[in-house]
Amino acid sequence: MKMDDLVSVSGMSGVYKINTSRSNGLVVDDLDTGKSKFCSMRRHQFTPLGTVAIYTFSDTVELSVVFKTMFDIQSKTPVVSASASKEEITSYFETIIPEYDRDKVYLSDMKKVLKWYFFLSERNLIEPLLNAADEEE
């Protein structure tokens, strides 16, 4: 599984695997049950995780790189909860991406990244995603 196979769907919590696309929406698979569901473009917005990046002062950092950094340092610096205080979350992001652009990266963006990481980590999907990203490079 690759980051490009995963999508966040507005109005639905969690992350889903893209099964197929249609002209009027996506068919997505629930990662827990494997059941497929059609999501209409009229009702939902889709965020493919492979297209997400964090702004820095000079460029952007892909989500897979952010996840890899979080994974690599979690033994020394545990990942903070998305429900932690603003100060804790921003301090954590300064640890994993010291050069992130504080004007363009909002607290809500940081919380999404943390929620996605926890969601995928709870399902033991972080390592396979990171391995797939390494193989692509």
Opening angle at CA 100, ends 96 and 104, nearest 5: 140
Hey, which CATH number is domain 3-48, 2.60.120, 2.30.30, 1.10.287, 1.10.1240? 2.30.30
pTM listed for this prediction: 0.89
Output the pLDDT for position 130.
80
Say what percent of the chain tops pLDDT 70. 96
Question: Which residue(s) pair with 46 in the sheet?
Answer: 9
Tell me the average pLDDT of the chain: 91
Residue 75 in tokens = 């033994």
Output the pLDDT for position 134.
66
Domain residue spans of the chain? 3-48, 52-136
